[in-house]
Amino acid sequence: MKRPSKKPTVLLTENIHPRYLALLESHARVVRPERCDEESIAELARAEQIDAIVIRTKGCVTPKVLRASPNLKVVGRHGIGVDHIDCQAAARAGIWVVNTPGASRISASEHTWAMILALARNIPNGDRAVRGDDFDIRDRVKAFQLHDKKLGIIGLGRIGGTVAHIGMRGFGMQIFYTDVVDYPAKERRLKARRLPLKKLLGTCDIITIHTPLDKSTRGMIGARQLGWMQPHAFLVNCARGKIVDLAALANALKEGTLRGAALDVFDPEVPPADHPILKSEKVVLSPHFAAQTPEANIGYGAVVEDVLRVLSGKRPLYPVAEPERTM
C-alpha cells in the first residue's frame, strides 16, 4: 500500500490542545481510530503504516498494536502515566516511549490540597448540611487542624515533592515519605524524613499517594496496609486507582479503622453505582480531573514536540522507554 503523503503518519487516539494539533498536522499526516479498543487501533495502525502514536487516557499500546506497526518509531503519552503502554515490548521493538512528566505538577498538587482541606474541614458534609438547614452539624463534627501534623508522601517525585512543599511551607506540617528513589536534596529542603511504607502508614496523620502505577505499586494499599494506619488518619489518592484496593478502603471506613479518604481515581473506573465507597460520608470524591486544567492540557500537548523530535531523527527530551535496538 502506497502512502498518500511523504509526511510521517501519526495515529492520534483523542483530541489534544489546538496549538499542538496544528503543530502535529503541519509536520505529519494525522489519522484517528473510530474506537479506542485494541483491535481498532491495531487495524488502523496496520492499514496506515503509522510512524507514531499519540495516546491519551483511552486505548492501549500492546504487543498486538506494536506488531501491527512495523514502521512505528515513537509512542507519545499525552500525560504522565504509561500503565496502558507496554513499554518493555516497545523498547524491545526499537521504539521510543515519551511522556510529559511535569505538565500536571501544579494542577495535580493543587487538587490534592483541595481534597485534603475538604476532608480536614468536612467541607462536603458542611455544604450539604447548610443546604438542608442543618447548622447544628457544627456541634456534631470535628475539624482537623493541619499545623504540625504529620504528612506522609508515597512517591516524592515532581507532584509528591510539590505537595510536600505546600504542606511544609503553607501549613507547617512535618514531612515524611517513602520512595524507591532517595531524595537527599529534597529531604534537606523539606526537612523530610524517609521511612519504610509500614512505618510511614503507622506514623502519619495524612497519607497522600503520588507514585506511578507499575508492578511494585499495583495493589500497594490493601486491607493489610490500611490496618497499619491510625484510626484518625486520612488517605488521599490522586495518582492511579489500581494502587488502592477500593473494597478494602470502603470496609476500613465502614468499620471506623480509618477516619476518611479522598479519591480522584478508582478501580474500577467508573465505580458501579452500588459500590459502598459511593455511599460513605467519610469520603470526598472527584471524577479523575485533578489535572484537567487548561494549563495542564497545554503542557500535555507538548508531547507532540518530543514525537516530532524522534521522527526527525533526534533524541527525545522526556523518554520513558528507550529502544533496545534500532528498527
Query: What's the pLDDT tens digit per position in 148-168?
Result: 999 999 999 999 999 999 999
Average pLDDT over residues 277-289: 95
Over the range 128-140, which residues count as b (16 or more CB within 10 Å of their CB) and which as e? ebeeeeeeeeeee
Active site residues: 240, 269, 288
- Separation of alpha carbons 326 and 108, rounded Å: 36
Alpha-carbon distances, residue 83 vs 62, 164, 213, 244 (angstroms): 11, 25, 6, 15
pLDDT, average across residues 205-222: 95
Instruction: For CA atoms 62, 288, 272, 245, give the dihedral sign.
Output: positive
Checking if the pLDDT of 5 tops 70, the result is no
pLDDT for residue 141 is more than 90:
no
Supply the mean pLDDT for the chain: 95
Percent of the chain with pLDDT over 90: 92
The answer to whether 259 and 234 are in contact (CB under 8 A) is yes
Q: What is the pLDDT of residue 326?
A: 53
The model's pTM is 0.89
| All domains of the chain in start order, with CATH | 9-103+295-321 (3.40.50.720), 105-285 (3.40.50.720)
Contact of 221 with 228, CB cutoff 8 Å: no
Alpha carbons 161 and 155: distance in angstroms, whole number = 8
Q: Which amino acid is at 26?
A: S
What is d(CA 268, CA 272) in angstroms, rounded to the nearest whole number? 8
Percent residues over pLDDT 70 in the chain: 98
| 7-11, 157-161, 214-218, 247-251: least confident range | 214-218
Write out the H or E segment, with its range, that includes residue 296.
helix 294-301
Residue 142: predicted pLDDT: 87
